[in-house]
Amino acid sequence: MKSQSVSRRRFLQSSAVASAPFILPSGIWSAKIKPNDKISVGFIGMGIQNRGLQRRFMGDKNVVCVAVSDCDTTRRNAARDTANKRYDNNDCKTYVDFRELIARDDIDAVSIATPDHWHAIQTIAAVNSGKDVYCEKPLTHNVHESVEVMKAVKKNKAILQTGSMQRSSREFRVACELVRNGVIGKVERTAVNVGPPGVPCDLKKEKLEPGLDWGKWIGPGPMRGYSSVLSPRGVHGHFPNWRNYKEYGGGMVCDWGAHMIDIVNWGLGVDDSGPVGTIPAENPKAMKGAQLVYAGNVPLMHGTGMGSSFYGTEGRVECHRGRIGLWLGEKFIAGRTGGDKNINLGKELDKMESEYLKDAKVKLYRSSSHIPDFLNSMRTRKKPCTHEIIGARTAIACHLLNQTYYNHTAIKWNPKKNTFASGGDPKWLTRDYRGEWDV
């Protein structure tokens, strides 16, 4: 994107600081991207997730993939070749160190799909150097990072979209509108059916073949020997299991909780706050059964239900991808709750909206596709459907649930101050960062 005004990127370049994104001045602003301007995007972390995002971004004729970064040579070059084949040129550049990509003043946005322990560092660096950010969920690796990401995005007036893409699916929006408009009465409890919390990494060291900068994969995390479980070599077609280990991810509580807990936050209308406490499972070794607690003493039960579920005084709503069900009392009203292909999901959603939401007072953000929503926000400078506050608050909820498992204790949480009211230790809010890395 070219601008006739003095852009923040041109300012950075002329100030000779573009090569040091961690200390760039904040708050430098430029005109919004014009409707017909091409948007230049760089991609950081070229595993299976970002390869999919790369294809989706490049499907927009007004988007150009100009750079890719990955610590694995094969993944890096494969992503470059995908872009160059798409545009029939050799313009896409590759970087081992993401900071070199971020320092470029001709890049408008970055798509980040690295392991969780990298998200906040790369996001903050990107917005500090004038980029908008699409970052995969969970947005952060700990509570402290969530707070700092919110601060950095606000300070730089950046656009950030979190990859909690269920908010761009109609069944989840309709479910939350049913709840928000009182169709099931007063919500008494909620539930999410996602997997266990993270566990300590105890993987055995393997031989590291050439072509992977292991130190850059580890980054701010604790150094350990190479494991193909954490980072399979080359281009692979699965989601690696680094996400199961607390040093680099947050288990399924964070990985899928960033989807399903996000929907509970949306349905309860607490995007700017989240839960106010936690209750541990009875068994200190349990991997499910702990609870988040929301204002009004509304619990979220971990490990039960269908995806995201809401139970009210007059009925219940359950939803998952491609599935939704509405019950009033014990009577099933509408929806598709299983894999019955004879039930048309669209028609069931039409029925719910026409019969129960026709005069709805609460109408939620409508997005039919997550990446176009982000690109549109880049042009309008209006917040997208899963902006930084939503992503950070959902991540905080996941982190609090994990801490309840890790420490088997009840927590009272102050979302205004982003600290414990009781029951927690401040060291649980952050981590020890290795070497040069910090947040």
Number of domains in the chain: 3
Q: Is residue 285 part of a domain?
A: yes
Asked whether residue 50 falls in the same domain as residue 189, the answer is no
Asked whether residue 99 falls in the same domain as residue 50, the answer is yes
Q: Is residue 438 part of a domain?
A: no
Give the separation between CA 179 and CA 174, rounded to whole angstroms. 9
Q: Is residue 1 part of a domain?
A: no
Cβ partners under 8 Å of residue 390, min gap 6:
162, 164, 167, 262, 265, 271
Asked whether residue 277 falls in the same domain as residue 423, the answer is yes
Q: Is residue 434 part of a domain?
A: no
Domain boundary residue, one of 246, 263, 280: 246
Asked whether residue 117 falls in the same domain as residue 21, the answer is yes
Asked whether residue 70 falls in the same domain as residue 37, the answer is yes
Phi, psi of 219 (to 5 degrees): 50, -120
Q: Is residue 435 part of a domain?
A: no
- CATH number for the domain spanning 350: value is 3.30.360.10
Asked whether residue 64 falls in the same domain as residue 160, the answer is yes
Asked whether residue 108 falls in the same domain as residue 172, the answer is no
Asked whether residue 13 falls in the same domain as residue 90, the answer is yes
29-37 CB contacts, 8 Å cutoff, 24+ apart: 29/156, 29/157, 30/3, 30/5, 30/6, 30/130, 31/3, 31/5, 31/7, 32/378, 32/379, 32/380, 32/381, 33/1, 33/108, 33/378, 33/379, 34/1, 34/379, 35/379, 36/62, 37/1, 37/2, 37/62
Q: What is the DSSP letter of 293?
A: E
> Residue for token digits 């059916």?
193
Asked whether residue 406 falls in the same domain as residue 318, the answer is yes
Asked whether residue 275 falls in the same domain as residue 341, the answer is yes
Write b or e for each residue in 259-285: b if 16 or more Cβ atoms lie within 10 A of its Cβ, otherwise e: bbbbbbbbbbbbbebbbbbbbbbeeee
**Residue-range definition of the domain harbouring residue 68:** 8-166+374-387
Q: Is residue 436 part of a domain?
A: no
Asked whether residue 96 falls in the same domain as residue 78, the answer is yes
Structure tokens at 427: 């060291």
Q: Is residue 3 part of a domain?
A: no
Q: Is residue 349 part of a domain?
A: yes
Asked whether residue 309 falls in the same domain as residue 348, the answer is yes
From first to last of its 439 residues, the chain has per-residue pLDDT tens of 433 333 334 333 333 333 333 333 333 334 467 676 899 999 999 999 999 999 999 999 999 999 999 999 999 999 999 999 999 999 999 999 999 999 999 999 999 999 999 999 999 999 999 999 999 999 999 999 999 999 999 999 999 999 999 999 999 999 999 999 999 999 999 999 999 999 999 999 999 999 999 999 999 999 999 999 999 999 999 999 999 999 999 999 999 999 999 999 999 999 999 999 999 999 999 999 999 999 999 999 999 888 999 999 999 999 999 999 999 999 999 999 987 888 999 999 999 999 999 999 999 999 999 999 999 999 999 999 999 999 999 999 999 999 999 999 999 999 999 999 999 999 999 999 999 999 9
